[in-house]
Amino acid sequence: MTTLTHNDPVAQRSLEVLTQGQAASGAFIASPAFPVYRYAWLRDGAFCAHALDRVGKRHAAAAFHAWVGRSIGAHRDLIESAVRRASSGETPPPEAMPPTRYTLEGGLEPLEGEPWPNFQIDGYGMWLWSLADHLQGGSAPADLAGAVELVARYLQATWRLPCFDCWEEYGDGEHASTLAAVTAGLDAAARLSGERAWSDTADLVRDELLARYTTSGRFRRGPSDDRVDGSLLWLGVPFGVLEPDDRRVAATVDAIRRDLTGPGGGLYRYRGDTYFGGGQWLLLTSSLAWNDARNGDTEAAAAAQAWVRDQATANGDLPEQVTGHAQTPDMVQPWRERWGPVATPLLWSHAMYLIAEAAG
């Protein structure tokens, strides 16, 4: 746990954004000022809860985990159906799968407006990882044990199915960062429940990553995509697919730093990104700072965090990305016309900033 200092207004504002962005239900809205992000993602929320744990706001983190437990319980029939169908060898249609995001009340989002990919399993693994860290080695309490067991079975049944990646994009349906989240989630489920079967499955997923998702001594986005992706940072820190100092993880971080660092030091998601022009993402830059801090490179971590601070608005809000050095500048305006300005504040950006500060 770290104590926030008043000489870092961005850290103070980050805590305010997370606190104000948490609904009475315990859910975290992705961005309060970006209508398309008015839902609660398990992925974003897992990191928001982790950040609050790091700064001593454990009650708020617990409220999020309780909300997830209730939301999963409310949709048990949907999840059980997906488990049965996938376990029998069927590939259920995306609309038959549990969602990656819920309403703030824990319901399913209404089927209206622009279709948006909603079958992603990584958030469920990230929730288990975040919960296990929150409980600090303890077992899942009675009110969450059922949700832990159900989510673990869901991951065990579906991890081989093609799905959308953590950026909610199509790709080829197979994504290293998704399998990293599944690995971390199943390992967490084993710790939370004492059930060895979950860690055995985590080992299978890890073996799959090592067998099909590496090239030239490092990890790659997917089995048929040799590019690096900023989300590959998470394979070492925090998901521990391999130790952060493993040569393959270290080579991946080096490749990300070399290939994805833009002017000034902010990270791109991946080369060829066109979302809002494919700008530099704050949450990934703080992810790199987190990795560097955990590996003892405090100078590099401080430089990355300084870049993030420089992107804050006048009141300290952190956007999702900045587009001043976009990869495809002609795609910035079409996205603005479609969805409005870049999401600001983005709770996930603030969460990652706090986590990296705590790690330093």
Catalogue the E-assigned strands of 166-219. Answer: 214-215, 218-219
Mean pLDDT over each residue of the chain, to the nearest integer: 96
- Domain limits, the chain: 9-359
Q: Which of 44, 165, 229, 273 is catalytic?
A: 165
Cα separations (Å) of 184 from 191, 206, 341?
11, 10, 34
* pLDDT confidence bin for 336, thresholds 50/70/90: very high
User: How many CB atoms lie under 10 A from the CB of residue 173?
Assistant: 13
Instruction: Give the per-residue pLDDT at 171.
Output: 54
pLDDT over 90 at 5, yes or no: no
CA angle, 309 then 43 then 138, to 5°? 105
Instruction: Give the per-residue pLDDT at 44.
Output: 98
243 is catalytic: no
* pLDDT confidence bin for 90, thresholds 50/70/90: very high
CA angle, 89 then 91 then 95, to 5°? 145
CA–CA gap between residue 169 and residue 205 (Å, rounded): 21
CA nearest to 54, candidates 148, 133, 120: 133
pLDDT in tens, 247-282: 999 999 999 999 999 999 999 999 999 999 999 999
pLDDT in tens, 129-153: 999 999 999 999 999 999 999 999 9
pLDDT over 60 at 235, yes or no: yes
Q: Give me 171's structure tokens.
A: 């790709």
Burial pattern 10-26, b for ≥16 Cβ within 10 A else e, equals bbebbbebbeebbbebb
Instruction: Give the per-residue pLDDT at 263.
Output: 97
CA nearest to 28, candidates 54, 49, 50, 13: 49
First to last CA, the chain: 11
- 9-359 — its CATH code? 1.50.10.10
Q: Give me 186's structure tokens.
A: 């199943």
CA nearest to 155, candidates 126, 193, 177: 126
Q: Name the one residue in this structure whose structure tokens are 């309490």.
A: 141
Q: Which of 168, 195, 225, 297 is catalytic?
A: 168
pLDDT over 70 at 52, yes or no: yes
With a CB cutoff of 8 Å and minimum separation 6, the contacts of 334 are: none
Q: What is the largest CA-CA distance in the chain?
A: 57
Instruction: Give the per-residue pLDDT at 32.
Output: 98
320 is catalytic: yes
Instruction: Give the per-residue pLDDT at 113.
Output: 64
pLDDT in tens, 102-121: 999 999 998 776 667 789 99
168 is catalytic: yes
CA nearest to 322, candidates 277, 357, 354: 277
